[in-house]
């Protein structure tokens, strides 16, 4: 079954609601966007004060999240993964995002 644009928007809004406000403040959450990849549908947002740092939160088919912290290479715009965690439950989402984004690269 394919998801409509409205379904994808609902998933992104639900992810935004499930990330605690203190986590958003702690990681420098900004510029959220809907995102879709091979794993599922979700959200991508900028983090930290460093340029080109992003975090993606993807809802998977088994109702858990895949969280990835990555950067975009200047010039080539390639995605370079810094840290990843899979099968994250909603109640652990804030803690996981915070711990992944505090890693250096």
Residue 105 DSSP SS3: coil
b/e 21-32 (16+ beta carbons within 10 angstroms → b)? eebbeebebeeb
Which pLDDT tens digit goes with each residue over 14-58?
999 999 999 999 999 999 999 888 778 899 999 987 788 999 999
- 54-76 pLDDT, tens digit per residue, is 999 999 989 999 999 999 998 88
Domains in the chain: how many in total? 1
As a three-state string, the secondary structure of 61-86 is CCCCEEEEEEEECCCCCCEEEEEEEE
pTM over 0.75: yes
Task: Quote the distance between the C-alpha of residue 92 and its chain's center.
Answer: 13
Range of the domain at 95: 5-101
């Amino acid at each position: 079954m394919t998801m409509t644009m409205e379904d994808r928007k609902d998933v992104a809004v639900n992810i935004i609601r499930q990330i605690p406000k203190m986590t958003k403040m702690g990681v420098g959450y900004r510029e959220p966007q809907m995102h879709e990849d091979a794993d599922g549908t979700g959200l991508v947002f900028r983090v930290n004060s460093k340029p080109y740092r992003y975090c993606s939160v993807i809802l998977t088919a088994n109702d858990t999240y895949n969280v990835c912290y990555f950067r975009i290479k200047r010039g080539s715009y390639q995605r370079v993964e810094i840290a990843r965690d899979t099968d994250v439950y909603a109640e652990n989402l804030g803690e996981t995002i915070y711990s992944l984004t505090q890693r250096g690269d």
